A and B are shown apart, each in its own frame.
Chain A
C-alpha cells in the first residue's frame, strides 16, 4: 500500500513489510502486500474488530510467526530482517512493543521491574543491576523521573492496580529507549487525566526522535495524536492518510458501520 523505499526523512527508522500473511485455521487475519511503518513520528493503526491490527503488531515483534513474508528494519544506514530474529533481539534493535494485556512480573517491585528493563538496555547481567549499589545509583535518577511523572500508590513497593501495571509496562518499554515504539491500546482503562499524562510523555519522546505506531480503540486519541493513520480491514491496510482524510473517508465509515450508513 505504501510507497517509498522505507528510509524515513530525518533519519527515522522504518519498518518495511512485504508479502506478510498469517492465517488461523481457514481464516486469513493478515495479508499485506507492501507497507512501510514509521516514516512519520506518530502513526495510528485503526480498523474494525478483527481487522488484524494486534496480529500485525505481533508479527512485527515475532511473538506470532508469519506464514509468509518479510519484515525489515531500515534505519537509513542498514537493513535488518526482523522476521528472522527472536523477539528479544528485535527489542534490542530498538523495536519495542507494549502489551494490550499487561505482562506482569508479579514478584518484582516497581523498582526491580524497571531496573530489569535498564539491564536489558545496557546488556547488563540482571544480578549486577541488583547487587551493585553504584549501578542502581547510575540509573536511579532516570527511573525516579518516570515515577515522579506518574503517581503510583506505592512507588517503593508493587504496582497494585491494572492501571499501574499498564503504566509500568509503558515505562519499561520507554527505558529501553526504543527507536520505534509499538503501542497496543496504551490508554485502555486509564483515567482521562493519566491518559493525558501518557500522551504528553509520548509527545516528549517523539520530539526526541522516537517513532510511535499506535493501535487504540479510543479513536479521539488517534485523531489527536497521529501524523498519519493506516486503516486496516480484513487483514490489509486499505487506506492511508492524515487523520482528517481517514476520518471523513466513506470506506472507513462503511467498514465500521456497514454500507447503509455512508
Chain B
C-alpha cells in the first residue's frame, strides 16, 4: 500500500531524515522517537509539504513524492498535524465540510459517521473551532482528515498536550478508526507505551535513522532506550 525507499529529506542543507526504507500495509504503524528524531519531518514529507532530497515514496502503486500536497490528499492520504490542524475561524461543521471537498462520498453521510466516531463534537457543530479545547481540536483535525475519504491517515503526535483522560480516549478512537473504516494509520508518538498498545508494527527513529522496525509486541525496552539514547 505504502512504500518509502531511500528517503532523505530535511530543511535547507540540514539532513533530518537519512535514508529511510519502510513499508506500511493495512495496519497501524507507529513511528517512535525522542524529540528531534525526525518524526514530524517524515510525516510532512509524506504529505508533500517538504520535498525529498532523494529517494521516493509510493502509495497504491503511484509515486507521490514530488507531487503537490492537494493531489496527495486527493489520492487518499490525510494528514493530521500536531498543531494548527483546523481552521480556527470556521465552525466545527465547516471544518469537516472543507475536509470533504475532495471526497467522493456524500458529505452529509460522512459527517454523520464522524459525529458517531467523536460524539463530543455533535454538540459543538456550530462552534468556532478556534474556541475548542485541545482535545476537541484534535478530534476536529482527525475528523477533517477522515472526511476526505482517506485510505491512509498520518497522525503527528495526536495526543501531545492532552490531558490523560483525552489521551486514553483518543488512542481508543485510533484503533476504532482503523478497524471500522479500514483506514491504515501512520502515527508518530513520543509516548511509546500508548502507541504500542494500538500499533501493529513500530519503527524506532533516532536522529533520522531507523534503529529497528518490528511487530509492536516484539519491541523491547532495550531497543527503545537505545533509540531514545536513555
Q: Is B115 an interface residue (CB 8 A)?
A: no
Bitwise interface map of B from 205 to 230 toward A, beta carbon under 8 Å scored 1, else 0: 00100000000000001001100111
Q: Is B49 an interface residue (CB 8 A)?
A: no
Q: Which residue of B lies closest to A259 (CB)?
A: B193
Among the interface residues B194, B196, B228, B230, which one has the most CB atoms of the partner chain A within 10 A?
Answer: B230
Q: Which of A27, A162, A247 contacts B11 (CB 8 A)?
A: A162
B134→A252 contact, CB < 8 A:
no
Tell me the smallest distance from the CB of B116 to a CB of chain A, in Å. Answer: 27
**What is the bound-complex CA distance between A220 and B35, given in angstroms?**
13
Interface residues of B in 76-106 (CB under 8 A from A): none
A163→B229 contact, CB < 8 A:
no
**What is the bound-complex CA distance between A219 and B228, given in angstroms?**
8
**What is the bound-complex CA distance between A7 and B133, given in angstroms?**
43
**What is the bound-complex CA distance between A163 and B221, given in angstroms?**
34
**What is the bound-complex CA distance between A101 and B207, given in angstroms?**
18
**What is the bound-complex CA distance between A223 and B191, given in angstroms?**
22
Q: Which residue of A lies closest to B14 (CB)?
A: A189
Q: Is B121 an interface residue (CB 8 A)?
A: no
Q: Is A77 an interface residue (CB 8 A)?
A: no
**What is the bound-complex CA distance between A100 and B29, given in angstroms?**
30
**What is the bound-complex CA distance between A217 and B207, given in angstroms?**
9
Interface residues of B in 1-60 (CB under 8 A from A): 10-16, 34-37
**What is the bound-complex CA distance between A259 and B221, given in angstroms?**
11
A188→B224 contact, CB < 8 A:
no
Q: Is A68 an interface residue (CB 8 A)?
A: no
Q: Which residues of A contact B221 (CB under 8 A)?
A: 253, 257, 261-262
Bitwise interface map of B from 172 to 194 toward A, beta carbon under 8 Å scored 1, else 0: 00000000000000000011111
Chain B residues with a Cβ closer than 8 Å to the other chain, count: 29
Q: Which of B12, B194, B196 contacts A161 (CB 8 A)?
A: B12
Q: Which residues of B contact A253 (CB under 8 A)?
A: 221, 225, 230
Q: Is A196 an interface residue (CB 8 A)?
A: no
A27→B230 contact, CB < 8 A:
no
Tell me the smallest distance from the CB of A242 to a CB of chain B, in Å. Answer: 15
**What is the bound-complex CA distance between A163 and B225, given in angstroms?**
28
A162→B193 contact, CB < 8 A:
no
Tell me the smallest distance from the CB of B12 to a CB of chain A, in Å. Answer: 4
Among the interface residues B16, B196, B229, which one has the most CB atoms of the partner chain A within 10 A?
Answer: B229
**What is the bound-complex CA distance between A49 and B157, given in angstroms?**
10
A258→B12 contact, CB < 8 A:
no
A217→B14 contact, CB < 8 A:
no
Bitwise interface map of B from 143 to 163 toward A, beta carbon under 8 Å scored 1, else 0: 000000000000001001100
Known: A253-B225, A257-B228, A258-B193. A50 touches B161 (CB 8 A): yes
Q: Which of A188, A189, A256 contacts B230 (CB 8 A)?
A: A256
Q: Which residue of A lies closest to B35 (CB)?
A: A49
**What is the bound-complex CA distance between A253 and B166, given in angstroms?**
22
Q: Is A185 an interface residue (CB 8 A)?
A: yes
Tell me the smallest distance from the CB of A34 to a CB of chain B, in Å. Answer: 25
Bitwise interface map of A from 112 to 156 toward B, beta carbon under 8 Å scored 1, else 0: 000000000000000000000000000000000000000000000
Q: Is A33 an interface residue (CB 8 A)?
A: no
A217→B133 contact, CB < 8 A:
no
B14→A185 contact, CB < 8 A:
no
Q: Which of B160, B193, B225 contacts A49 (CB 8 A)?
A: B160
Q: Which of B160, B193, B230 contacts A260 (CB 8 A)?
A: B193
Q: Which residues of A contact B193 (CB under 8 A)?
A: 257-261
Known: A50-B161, A218-B207. A163 touches B13 (CB 8 A): yes
Q: Which residues of B contact A259 (CB under 8 A)?
A: 193
Q: Is A26 an interface residue (CB 8 A)?
A: yes
23 contacts between A and B (CB under 8 A): A26-B133, A48-B190, A49-B190, A161-B12, A162-B11, A162-B12, A162-B13, A162-B14, A185-B36, A188-B14, A189-B14, A189-B15, A219-B230, A223-B229, A253-B221, A256-B190, A257-B192, A257-B193, A258-B192, A259-B193, A260-B196, A261-B221, A261-B225
Q: A258-B192, A261-B193 are in contact. List 20 more A-B contacts (CB 8 A).
A: A27-B161, A48-B190, A48-B191, A50-B160, A50-B161, A162-B13, A189-B10, A189-B11, A189-B15, A217-B35, A218-B229, A219-B34, A256-B34, A257-B224, A258-B194, A260-B196, A261-B192, A261-B221, A261-B225, A262-B221
**3 tightest A-B contacts by CB?**
A258-B193, A217-B36, A189-B14
